[in-house]
């Protein structure tokens, strides 16, 4: 739970479930999903849910990326993420405080007024998510490299 989300949820009667309750919920979700042929994975949880049939997953999954592009990929685990996060390195192309959904549990928005203002500043013809490049903005070009691995013959 992110601290800013925790603050927004205070006073709403929402509580953090304990480990046993989380495991029970995970098992129930896995059973429901299995009826429809869907797998369930957790995200960076700090406790083992394998007894409930739920493994710690990857939101940014090198195996899935490899399946999508049809080639093996070589990507390291993202060391900047939380300890139990298994995601591989990636570049976030989003921007904080741009969604007007207002979800209290969302870590990407901290101020609804700022979110509405930024969202209103979106120009579909622009290469930016919102706003314009200003005179004090710094543009850094990133090196782009392929992560696909060519098979050795």
What's residue 151's pLDDT? 67
What's residue 62's pLDDT? 95
What's residue 76's pLDDT? 93
What's residue 86's pLDDT? 92
Backbone CA torsion sign across 97, 99, 101, 103: negative
Contact 1, 16 (CB under 8 A): yes
CB-neighbour burial class of residue 59 (10 A; exposed 0-12, middle 13-18, buried 19+):
middle
What's residue 149's pLDDT? 86
Whether pTM exceeds 0.85:
no
Each residue's pLDDT tens digit in the chain (153 positions)? Answer: 788 888 888 889 888 889 899 999 999 999 999 999 999 999 888 888 888 889 889 999 999 999 999 999 999 999 999 888 999 999 888 899 999 998 988 889 988 999 999 999 999 988 888 888 889 989 888 888 888 887 655
What's residue 96's pLDDT? 93
What's residue 153's pLDDT? 54
What's residue 3's pLDDT? 85
> Of how many residues is the chain composed?
153
């Amino acid at each position: 739970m992110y601290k800013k989300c925790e603050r927004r949820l205070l006073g709403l009667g929402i509580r953090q479930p304990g480990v046993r309750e989380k495991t029970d919920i995970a098992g129930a979700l896995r059973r429901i999903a299995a009826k429809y042929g869907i797998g369930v994975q957790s995200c960076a949880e700090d406790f083992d849910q394998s007894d409930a049939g739920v493994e710690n997953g990857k939101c940014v999954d090198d195996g899935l990326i490899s399946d999508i592009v049809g080639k093996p990929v070589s990507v390291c685990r993202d060391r900047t993420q939380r300890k139990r996060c298994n995601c591989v390195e990636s570049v976030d192309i989003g921007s904080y405080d741009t969604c007007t959904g207002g979800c209290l549990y969302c870590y990407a928005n901290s101020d609804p007024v700022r979110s509405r203002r930024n969202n209103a500043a979106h120009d579909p013809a622009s290469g930016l998510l919102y706003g314009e490049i200003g005179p004090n903005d710094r543009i850094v070009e990133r090196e782009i490299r392929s992560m696909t691995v060519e098979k050795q013959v």
